[in-house]
């Protein structure tokens, strides 16, 4: 009896550790109201480089996503959005009241591309 309890405890501990340390964590949330558009992604840290390359190309700007950043990104001179990021987490806040419809559409396309990059294997 003691052996089976001991074996079961070890199996559960190994299984629990494997579930916590495994890859595949992804959470994407989007909020789109009359006043603002918010996008938040929580993802595996190993995807940070892939996401950084995509954003650098899409925005034509180098963003160090592996550091804690909180910056205002200029889309085209008048349209701007706030980008916060660190390894495994990214947040975009776009104020619709201060920006154009064209800027809003660009940010929506950008976030769709981010989602696509994060779901790639």
Q: Which CATH number is 101's domain given?
A: 3.30.1360
Backbone angles phi, psi at 66, to 5 degrees: -85, 0
**28 lies in which domain range?**
24-119
Counted domains in the chain: 1
Among 65, 61, 63, residue whose Cα is nearest residue 43: 65
Q: Is residue 50 part of a domain?
A: yes
Q: What is the pTM of this model?
A: 0.78
Q: Is residue 2 part of a domain?
A: no
Q: Is residue 87 part of a domain?
A: yes
The tens digit of pLDDT for each residue in 56-102 reads 999 888 888 888 999 999 988 889 999 999 999 999 999 999 999 99
Contact 32, 87 (CB under 8 A): no
Computed over every residue of the chain, the mean pLDDT equals: 85
Q: Is residue 77 part of a domain?
A: yes
33 vs 59, higher pLDDT: 33
Residue 25 reports pLDDT greater than 50: yes
102 vs 12, higher pLDDT: 102
Q: Is residue 5 part of a domain?
A: no
Q: Is residue 86 part of a domain?
A: yes
């Amino acid at each position: 009896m003691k052996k089976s309890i001991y074996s079961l405890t070890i199996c559960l501990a190994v299984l629990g550790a494997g579930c916590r340390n495994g890859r595949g964590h992804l959470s994407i949330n989007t909020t789109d109201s009359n006043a603002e558009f918010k996008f938040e992604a929580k993802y595996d840290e190993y995807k940070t480089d892939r996401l950084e390359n995509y954003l650098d190309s899409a925005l034509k700007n180098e963003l160090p996503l592996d550091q804690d950043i909180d910056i205002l990104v200029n889309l085209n001179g008048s349209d701007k959005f706030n980008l916060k990021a660190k390894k495994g987490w990214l947040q975009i806040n776009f104020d619709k009241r201060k920006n154009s419809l064209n800027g809003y559409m660009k940010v929506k396309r950008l976030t769709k591309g981010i989602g696509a990059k994060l779901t790639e294997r």
